[in-house]
Structure formats: C-alpha cells, structure tokens
Structure 1
Amino acid sequence: MVSRILEQNSILPENTRIRRANNSTDDSEVLVASVQRDDDVSRIRTFPTPGLKGVIRLIRGDHSSALENICNELTQAAKFAANDSQVEFLRKYEESFQTGSLNTYRESQWIWDRDEAPRVDFSSIHTLAYCASIIFPGINLPNEDGFKNVIISNRMATESRALQYPFIDPSEAETFTKHKFPAYHWCVVLHELLGHGTGQMMVETEEGKHNVDIDNPPISPLTGKPITTWYKPGQTWTGQFADLATTVDECRAELLGAYLMDDPEPLELFGFTASSELALKTQLDVDGLQGLSNFNVNTEMGQAHSRAHFAILKCLLLDGNGPVTVVHDGLAKAVRVRVDRSKILTHGKVALGSMLPRLHMYRCTADASACRAYYEELSAVDGEYLEWRETVLANKPPPFVFVHANTFLDGEKVVLREYEPTAEGVIQNWAERSV
C-alpha cells in the first residue's frame, strides 16, 4: 500500500525503508537515505492513505552520518578525476546522497555511462575493495542511454577455488572441474551483457503519450495478439513487481545466458568448447539445488538469485523431458545432478526457450499479475523439493569469506592494509573503513 502511494507521487523506493511511527500504529514513516535531515516537522512531506486511518510521512536523513563521510570522500575524489565528465558524475553522485534524490542519482549514471565508452562496453576487472554485504561476480548498469558491464575476475577466481557442494555425478566430475571456471566466466558475461542489458519497457510516459505506437501495438509472442498492458505514468519495474522484481530479472538474465551459451560464434570468440557448455549446464543445475539452502520455510521466500536458479532447475525437470535428472537418497543424505548430453540442445534448450520469453514479456509489458501466477508456482519449494533441501543443508560447505583491503594515507604515500579471511577480519576491515 505504501509503495503504491509513493509511486503515485513519483517517489522511487530504492533508497528508502519503512517503519511504524512511534506515536501511532496507524501512521507509517518512510525513511529516505540522505545527508540532509528533515528535523523540522514543517519540512516533512505527508501523504494520506485513502480508505484507511493514518498518514505516510516521508522523512529524509536516514544513515545521514555515514553518507556525510561518503560525500566528503567523493569531494576529494573529484580532484583526481580524468576529465570534466567524471567530475560532473561525482558531483551528481554526491548531490544524490546529500538530498536523497534518486532522479539525481540516475543523472549521475547517465553521465558515467557516456564517459569514454561506446553503448556496449564490457570489462574484466580486479577490485581492490568492494564495499557491499554481497559480492557479486558481475555487475550491469542498464538505463535509458545504454549500459556498462563488468566482471569481478578476482572474486570469481576465489570462488572457483572454494569448497563446492558435492552434487556432481562422479562420471562428470573431472570434466566439470576442468571447465568450471571458464564456463562460469562465460555465463556471467552473457548474464550481464545480454541478460540485464536487453529489453525495452512499454511505457506511457505521461497521460496519452507512449514510447510505442498504441494504435498499432506490438504482437506478444506469448498470445499472438497485440499487447494490452504497459507501465502507466509514474509506474516502475520495482514498484509494479515488488518482491518479484529482483528475482525475476535475475532469472531472465540467467536464462538468456543459458540459452545462448551454445552459440558457436561467441563460444569460439572466448575460446570455449562443447565441454565448457556441458560444465555450464551442469553448473546451472547445481546452482538450482544449492539455491534450496537459501529457502526460508517460514516465509516461503528465498534469496533472489537462489530462487531464480531453483526455478530454472524446476523448468528443466518439469518441462525438459529428460535433459536433467536429480537422484536423491534421503537416508544417505546424498543428492546428485545428472545431465544427458544428447538432450541438452534438443530438449533442455527448448524448455529454457519457452520460459525466457514469458519472463521477458511480463517485464516489458508490466504484466505483474501473470508473472506472479507463473513464477510463484515454478519457484515454489514443496513436496520432494523440501526433502532435497534437507539433504542440501546437510552437505552445505563453509560459506565464502571475502575480505578486501583498505587504503590509508601516510603523508604522501598510500598504504595498503590487508586482513585475514575470517569473521574477525571482515569486522576489522569494515570498522577501519570508518563509514
């Protein structure tokens, strides 16, 4: 309800959180992350809740102190920018943190996107520090003007050496181990560059104005008929799809990568082989089982990527006619994935090719209700899948511990400080970052 009211007032939700007001159980407070604080009650924006008691208050100043430190560092960083575009990007970035304006944040990203790169830019990089609670192997920034993509190579290399779930059938273990890293790299490339980087939203930008010919609308490949839904003024992907937004788009990106992985031209370009393709298909299925470990039986929800991987595995099992089988022994607490090479292209790809356009069209046409009906059923963990989950948890290896370095100024010198890959090292690393 709160999200809908914010959407109607063109307020983006990504840098907000919600809490009940202290003085009333009927009022809600939406806290906006920003340096500027709405300590003066007269500056707080208030919105009614039609048909209900109470109001919604939009209050800036959440995480104010930490963001102020970040803004100070951005000011210093601008002194070392390579060109005027980078200076302007950093200034807009800082302004967005100062005011809490996500529109200003988007402006900063458009400037960064156009800086010294074509519309499709792709880079493999090593990070010195990655300041986030989850360190993803790749990142994509899509927007109206283009997109940039990066692979975090040292993060991926670290994961490839970590202890894995024992889900590979022994007959495929040697081939899988040999090709796992290049196949994983290839999957992330396709996932970021073409998965997240493609697709046009059908949008009514303002009353009566559309980015598509509404008198001659596109034909939906799902129904064979003209599309009937699109994003209305002020509506956004995250606002319309709510809790499904992230997991559905991660699933869409993963599906596109999986569908294109056998294309001979890009495979040859990256120096990959059919064995790499097999390893990637096997990894896709292993990820589906591994995703069960992040399923919460109480809330019936899971981490976005894990839920996506499990949905893809179920698609292959239910609609693929045999490219993948899962062998489960509950007593021995053992579960194995088996991939039938002869059915990867003839059956597996066909199943993925049926699932992919569904999610793509739901997303592009704002058809959240159809998406929810389809995706929630496909990603549901029930029956024998709950039994698989118990076995997965029984075989769960230690979690990854990524600990990056910090840099400090010692006079005119920059000093690099590294930490032990332990829980204590992670805490020390963040504490010494002073944000």
Structure 2
Amino acid sequence: MDAYSIWPENTRVRKIEENKFEVLQASVTLTEPTVASLTIPDSPTKVTLLCGDHAAELEKICTNLAEAAKYAANDSQRKFLAEYIESFETGSLDVYRDSQRTWVADKAPKVENIFGFVEPYRDPAGIRAEFEGLVAIADAEETQLLSKLVENSDKFIRRLPWASSENNGKGVFEKSLFEPPDFSSIHALAYCSSIIFPGINLPNYNDIRQDVGFKNVIIANRMTAESTAMQWSFIDESEMEVFQKHKYPAYYWWVVLHELLGHGTGKMMIEKPANNFNFDATSPPLNPLDGKPINTWYKPGQTWTGQFGNLATSLDECRAELVGAYLMDDPELLALFGFTEESTIRASDLTYNLYQQLGVDGLRALSNYNLDSMTWGQAHSRAHFSMLRCLLRDSQGCLKVQHDREAKKLTVIVDRPKIISHGKKALGGMLLRLHMYRCTADVQACRDYYEDLSHVDEECLKWRQTVIANKPPPLLNVQANTFIDGDTVTLKEYEPTIEGIIKSWVERDV
C-alpha cells in the first residue's frame, strides 16, 4: 500500500484464500479504483483494492453533511464539509488531509465538529482508524481561560527537559515557532466513538501539524461526568475526601497540558528527497541522552506511525501525559490557572493529588492487560502503567504501592516532600527518553526501553487480581438528542441509566 501511495486509515484487509487478499477501502462510490491490483514483487501473494466499503452508512453521512453545509458559519466550514463529502464519497484520504488543513484554519467556531477515520486505538497495529463523529458547542468563558495558557506557551516549553540554549531557549529538538493553536473548551452534543475522549488534539498527520498547525479541544461535560462516577478505591480512606475534592481540577489541567504542550511540542528530524534535511546533516545535533551526534532520523517517506507501528499510539499518549505531569508543579503555571498557596485549592495540594492520580491510573490500567496474549489492550493504559513503573523504579520512594492480598486492597502512597526532588526528576528522565526516541526515529532503543517499562511482572500480576476485584462499573455516557419541529429545536435528555442510553440511541435513529 505504501508503494502505491494508499493511506491505510480508512481500509481493512480481508483474506480470501491462501496468498489472496482484498484491501477494502471505505467510500460511497463502487467504481473501480485507479490501482486495482497491488502487485507484490517476487511474491505469489495477490492483493486487490476494492472501493465501496461501508457505502450505505457513508452515503447517509454525506447527505447529512450536505444539509449541514447550508447552515455553516463561514466559507472555511463550507469548504471542509465539501472536502469531507468528497473524501467519504471517493475514499480519497488525500482529500481528507485537505479537509484537515481547512478545519485547522477554522478558528474558535461556536459549533465544533470532527468527522472521519480518525483514531487508530482499536487497531492492534496502531495504524488503521475507526470512524467517529463529534458535534459540540463551545464555552466562551472556559475557552478564554485556556487562551491565557496558549499565549504563554513558549515560556513553559523552555522548561521541558530537552530545552537548551539553542533555538531561543527551546533547543534543537523543538520547533522554532510554536504556532498558537486554536484551543477551546467544548460541550459535546453528540459523540459517536468507541472511546469518548476528555480532550482531543488533531489532526494526527505530523506533516500537517508541523506545516499548518493543529487544534485542541477539551470536552468539559465529558470530564465533569467522569468526576461524578464511582472511583477506584486505591487511596487511603483518611485521604479520600480530600482526594475527591482535588481530583477534577488536577485532572482537568493535566488534560489541558497533555493536549497543548504534550501533543503540541517536538520536532521530528527528517530527511526529505534530494538530500534535503530539516537539520544540519553535516554536523548533526547532539543527543542529550548520550552527548553524541544523532545517527538516526526519518528517511524519505517514513512517518512516525509507520516506523513505530504498534508502539506509536501508546508512546504518543505517554509522552503527552508526561509533559502534563512534569509541568503540574510549576508555581507560575498553576498561578496562571488560579492556584496559589493562598487559593481555596492550594497549588501544592493540586500537585500532590496529581501524583496520587498517577498511582491510581497506573494500577487501574492493569485491568486492560490481557493475560492470554500478554499484551496491552489500550494505548492509554499501557502509558499509565509505564509511568507508574517509572516512579516506583526511579523516584526513590516518592510513590509506593501497598498491597494487602487477603483484604484485596491496594493503596497508593505519595511522599509529598519527594515530589519535586525525586518524582519530577524520574518523570523528566522518562519524558526526555521518549521525546528523543520519537524525534530521531530511534525505534529499537525505544522498543527496548518501553517494553521493559511496560512489562507486567509476577508482583504486578498479583496487583492485577486485586484491581479486577475492585473494578467499579464501567463509565457509560448517556447523550441528549435534538429534534426539529418547524423552526424550533428541542433538546431531549435521558436518565443516566442503561435504559436511558439505549433509548437515546433508539431515538437517534442511526
């Protein structure tokens, strides 16, 4: 598929018989593609490309997008809706990539939307994506607060572990210009996806992100819903009330930093055709991990996801989580959010709560570890467990886990005085490693490090048994519906129950 420049996100593969496969490409049109046969040199395998996968569903989507275009607020919205439609009709991801360039340019819309084959989390190879749709309404007051952080982004990028005197204090492994992205706090009206994310940073195409930019959204009502759900019981009872009080604000701003400065930072070292590099190849920059010139980078045609394969999504999320956690003790940054030692919720208490959450999230991640295949079933879970292992291994007791097997109880203990001196240092070391592996396409070193860190040993398998025994009910989201009667739009909400969820989907009529 690479050889024929066929993007994989909207495809799936079907095995017909031995040495005979079909690549199914999602599209409305059933016409034969330009390249029908994907010849594999020196191989008996025959691969055929077929259009029209999910044709009926995509046709309905295109019809509704055409209707939505009548109510678009500006030309940019009309343009990317038209590009959505063309992409879904033809199966062309080149056109979809164009839609993402246009979508990024639509700054601060009152109604935000995301459609397409977007996230690859469900693909074991971390490449093919599932279709998702999101329509949300922006919250002007919350968005204004996020804008303050965007305006000060450069200042805090200079405090990340790879920063150095070059490049205006940001270092050579960071972009020269941090293009302030559109950053909005939104409330989801309808969100159709297997995972309802608390925050989103798109597009996922790194070349578009580096050349055009990206957008961040925080889905505030989804985060509020999670904060009211039943919690994992890994905090000592004496601290639970205080933990609950601080959990939502710590989590909210952790996600904010994750999306903006986690996914928004970093410069890939790239070689383009005709011996063209985006760094000085005659005198390569020094790798801060060993002090030597880098000797790996992305060769022509290579991409982050293509090179790192099944590690890419988990690594990307882990790196972003680490950026947020690493900065969550910065007094100036927390003051920007309204947290000082004199505020109702003190800045130091917020940092303490975050480290508690690092422990809790790392433990609950074990529920997504598959014992049969000995693999991680969820990219974020693997990331959270790896961060816990890092703190247990490298923070000299800043974070500990107590396990009472008989009582089936796990307790996260954070040594508050060690957070800055040891906890932050441990997270910073891990963050620097993942950042450098990612920037320099050092796949093997990255795989060795990350697979060791995310390895579930015998002790952790015992923890997993206790985690499963304490697993709360799954987080289920019930969504409202809108109905049109003449010129009137009615919002109908449902009870937060299993029955309410089913009824909302039945009445959505999809």
TM class by shorter-chain length?
Answer: over 0.9
Written as runs of structure 1 = structure 2, the 5 A alignment for 1:28-427 is 28-38=21-31, 40=32, 45-116=36-107, 119-142=180-203, 143-144=209-210, 145-272=212-339, 273-302=347-376, 303-427=378-502
Alignment deviations for residues 379-417 of structure 1 (CA, whole Å, 9 cap, x no partner): 111210000000000000001110112223223322323
Could you say what secondary structure the match of 2:188 adopts?
A: coil
Distance 2:292 2:304 in 1: 23
How far off is 1:139 after superposition? 0.6
Please tell me the residue identity of whatever aligns with 1:342. P
Distance 2:76 2:232 in 1: 45
1:220–1:227 CA contact under 8 A, matched in 2: yes
Runs ≥4 residues deviating over 6 A: none
Distance 1:363 1:101 in 2: 28
Could you say what secondary structure the match of 2:14 adopts?
A: strand
Query: Which deviates more, 221-230 or 374-383?
Result: 221-230
Distance 1:358 1:34 in 2: 40
How far off is 1:156 after superposition? 0.6
- Cα 1:127/1:361, change in 2 over 3 Å: same
1:230–1:367 CA contact under 8 A, matched in 2: yes
Which segments of 5 or more consecutive residues in structure 1 lack a partner in the other structure? 1-5
RMSD between aligned alpha carbons? 1.8
How far off is 1:374 after superposition? 1.0
Distance 2:43 2:235 in 1: 54
Distance 2:502 2:53 in 1: 22
TM-score (norm 1): 0.93
1:10–1:234 CA contact under 8 A, matched in 2: no
Query: Which deviates more, 29-38 or 285-294?
Result: 29-38
Distance 2:464 2:15 in 1: 35
- Cα 1:55/1:424, change in 2 over 3 Å: farther
1:207–1:233 CA contact under 8 A, matched in 2: no
Could you say what secondary structure the match of 1:146 adopts?
A: coil
1:326–1:335 CA contact under 8 A, matched in 2: yes
Please tell me the residue identity of whatever aligns with 1:296. N
Please tell me the residue identity of whatever aligns with 2:3. Q
How far off is 1:51 after superposition? 4.7
How far off is 1:171 after superposition? 3.6
How far off is 1:88 after superposition? 0.9
Distance 2:287 2:19 in 1: 43
Which has the higher relative contact order, 1 or 2, with Cα contacts under 8 A spaced 6 or more apart? Answer: 1
How far off is 1:432 after superposition? 4.0
Identity of matched residues, %: 60
The equivalent position to 1:10 in structure 2, one of 5, 21, 32, is 5
Alignment deviations for residues 301-320 of structure 1 (CA, whole Å, 9 cap, x no partner): 22100110000000000111
Could you say what secondary structure the match of 2:49 adopts?
A: strand
Query: Which deviates more, 146-155 or 388-397?
Result: 146-155
Could you say what secondary structure the match of 2:189 adopts?
A: coil
TM-score (norm 2): 0.80
Map of 1:3 onto structure 2: none
Distance 1:37 1:372 in 2: 41
Could you say what secondary structure the match of 2:37 adopts?
A: strand
1:9–1:234 CA contact under 8 A, matched in 2: no
